[in-house]
Structure 1
Amino acid sequence: MGDQASILSSTIAQDSTIKKTLHVHRWRPSHHKWKHVVISSDPNEGLWGGRHTRPPDHLRLITWNLDFNKFEDQSNRLLTALRSLQFMVLDCGDESPGPTCILLQEITPAGLSALLETDWVRQYFYVTPIDPSKWPGPHYNYGNVTLVHKSIPIFGAHILHYGATQQERSAIEIDVRMRNYTLRIINSHLESLAGPTNKYHRFRQLFECAKRLKDNPAGGFVAGDLNAIDSDWDERVYERGLVDAGEECRETGHTWGDQRHDGPEEARFPNSRMDRIVCHYPQALFRVTNVRRIGIGLRHEADWVSDHFGLAADVVSTQTQ
């Protein structure tokens, strides 16, 4: 097993991922449309969209796979999920939630359209991407979308195309400012299903995320549906110098299984912690704490909002004033 793992690791390390710049957008009521904003490339300027911003010392993090399978119903299920975040998870109602990042996976074009039409999102968040053609095609079944509260300075946004695989997976990478350092946040959905080929791609994608986190001096985290179904998952995470924040916070509950669809594919897999928040803390400038599950038992009419539970956590700077 050790020799096989070494071969796998060395092979994966040779694969490359295509990185493309993304625009970040905000809603402009005067134009009645989403417009992209200019991101300063110099974190020392503290400029975002042409205005000075004081970087926060904490933010709330949410990640949630919202299930693309029922195409005709995702818009309504997504809106129910957003209302749950507003009134139950963030407890802000229609008001501002404060510094918050929301990472969504398995968003369809129809779901993205519904999200962009939501008043709460329009008022308080920057969104990337707003165009589903930015996702790997041609089916656009597995879109990732990142929402960043307007109080958080952003200094870069990219999409990582992992390459042509069965599930056409990708990641959204953003660099945000906390205190006097830049934190890298990667929203990803890794390759799913069992089998050696899928496992190979899954770890290749995870290792690419690890590399991207290590390229940032202050580190950061990758969060999302990471399909952590392999028996050697934890070993591969630790050997890359990463920390499973959920395990560190003793969140051991599974995020997939109780609300699965009735079908032969789903029946093959046991309940598991498919969804994770995996961190790189090179300078111990921040911590991801208080990881907890959300969306348990949430329905839109007769349907589960998702076959996954989401995760919420607190990202806190360890620096003092």
Structure 2
Amino acid sequence: MASLQRDSATQQDFYFFDDSADPPAWCAASSSPARESHATTPTPRIHLISWNIDFQAPAEAERMTAALQYLGDLVSEHNRTHSSRTVILFQEMVSKDLELIQQTAWVQKDFYITDLQPSHWYGRYGTTTLIDRRLSVDRVFRVPYAESRMQRDVLCVDLDMPDPMRERSTVRVCNTHLESLASGTPRRPVQLKVASEFMHGAGPRARMDNKADNLRPNDQNTILVPVPHAAILAGDLNAFAPEDASIPQACRLKDAFLVLGGKEKTEEAITWGKQNPDWMTFPADRLDKVLFCGGVEVLSYRKIGEGLKARVSLYNSDDSDGDPDEYEDVWVTDHFGMVAEFRIFSGSDH
């Protein structure tokens, strides 16, 4: 992996499945002359799904396969009844997850993916985002957090959306997994602040360059990005400490759950702790959040994946006494997913 500027935007490609290739294959969207554009004049709405799929639980392939089947059904049902385009944010992906995503028929047919390999991650697991191919993608970039022992980052997708007041607007969708555990408590405010600077503007590096009257990137791997008209961030924010409650407001971000009348410390709020392993000792809480700013309003929010299990065979072909019909149902993941519907509007509350 190339040397990267921390707290700066590093552009990466995104990919589409070219079924006209011989053989059909995933191709870089920026370089393939065979790319068929699915982009249409979109509705000014985004259907956002965010889900952390536990990277360390057993039966990873069975669990991710069940998650993808479940999501495929959700997306199909949504498309039958709504015009908004779907963006799916995954956290705690591993290499096998990326393989399974690429092999999934509904993903191949209708979605871009930001990662085919874990080459843009900084640790054992990472984030990836799926984007409805009817949306117009301007760029994809990552910002690795300088203040992180767990090699976390924010993955951003810039969408080119219609705007009644001008020709087009940039809507930035950000996917992040903030620092975990008690040791991460002092780092999470710093990390979200960095992410929020890319939501409100062009990021801390561009701001420093601008002050120096120099708008060139500081490193050949980094890029300058535009100030977005609107921005949405979602993911596992590990918000279990009392100090975490005030971080979004300090970063001038609105919380979709709270804006729509949700209350903290209620059953409705909890996104983690109901399906976690027995050895986990943290209490159930709202670790996952959807935040936003700028020219966008949240229309709805709900949780998904509650009670979802995957069937795992216990049969071992090396065991002559084994029963081929023996199985166990396991939680797909320890987190509930989140779904939020947004409308992009003219003007900005930056």
- Determine the structure 1 residue equivalent to 2:266: none
Q: Alignment RMSD, CA only?
A: 2.6
How far apart are the structure 2 equivalents of 1:93 and 1:158?
27
Specify which of 91, 99, 103 is matched with residue 89 of structure 2.
103
**Of 152, 157, 160, which residue of structure 1 is paired with 2:143?**
160
3-state SS of paired residue (2:189) = helix
Alignment of 1:150-299 (within 5 A): 150-163=133-146, 165-180=148-163, 181-195=169-183, 198-215=184-201, 216-252=227-263, 253-263=269-279, 266-267=280-281, 269-281=282-294, 285-299=295-309
In the superposition, relative to structure 1, how do residues 30 and 52 fare at CA in structure 2: closer, same or farther (>3 Å)? closer
Instruction: State the shift of 1:29 in Å.
Output: 1.3
- The residue type equivalent to 1:55 in the other structure is P
Q: Could you say which residue in structure 2 is the equivalent of 1:44? A: none
Partner in structure 1 of residue 315 of structure 2:
none
Contact 2:39–2:133 at 8 Å: present in 1 too?
Answer: no
Say whether the 8 Å CA contact 2:10–2:143 is kept in structure 1.
Answer: yes
Structure 1 counterpart SS, 2:187: helix
Given candidates 33, 41, 48, the residue that maps to 2:25 is 33
Instruction: Show the counterpart of 1:6.
Output: none
- 1:116-127 matches, cutoff 5 A: 116-127=102-113
Which runs of structure 2 are paired with 1:303-318 in the superposition (5 Å)? 303-318=330-345
TM superposition score normalised by structure 2 = 0.76
Give runs of aligned pairs for residues 14-33 of structure 1, distance below 5 A: 16-31=6-21, 32-33=24-25
TM-aligned CA distance change 1:107 to 1:200, over 3 Å: same
Question: Does the 8 A contact of 2:15 with 2:114 survive in 1?
Answer: yes
Aligned length, in residue pairs: 286
Deviation at 1:92, TM superposition (A): 5.4
**1:107–1:144 Cα contact (<8 Å) kept:** yes
Q: Deviations 1:126-171 (Å, cap 9, x if unpaired)? A: 000111121113xx22x10100001111111001211473322122
Deviations 1:152-197 (A, max 9, x none): 11111001211473322122101112222211110000001014xx
Distance in structure 1 (CA, Å) of the matches to 2:44 and 2:79: 23
1:58-73 alignment runs, 5 A limit = 58-70=45-57, 73=59
Secondary structure (helix, strand or coil) at the match of 1:260 reads: coil
Classify the secondary structure of the residue corresponding to 1:69. coil
Deviation at 1:85, TM superposition (A): 1.8
Determine the C-alpha separation between the residues in 2 that align with 1:315 and 1:93. 15
Distance between the aligned counterparts of 2:171 and 2:156, measured in 1?
10
After TM superposition, give the deviation of residue 53 of structure 1 in Å: 3.4
* Aligned-partner residue type, residue 306 of structure 1: T
Percent identical among aligned pairs is 29
Q: Aligned equivalents of 1:236 and 1:222: distance in 2?
A: 13
* Aligned residue runs from structure 1 range 83-98, under 5 A: 83-88=69-74, 91=77
1:53 aligns with 2:80: no
Distance 1:308-1:135 versus aligned 2 partners, 3 A rule: same
Instruction: Give the drift of 1:75.
Output: 2.1
Query: Tell me, which stretches of 5 or more residues in structure 1 are unaligned?
Result: 1-14, 40-47
For the residue of structure 2 that corresponds to 1:200, the secondary structure is coil
Unaligned runs of 5+ in 2: 164-168, 202-226, 264-268, 312-328
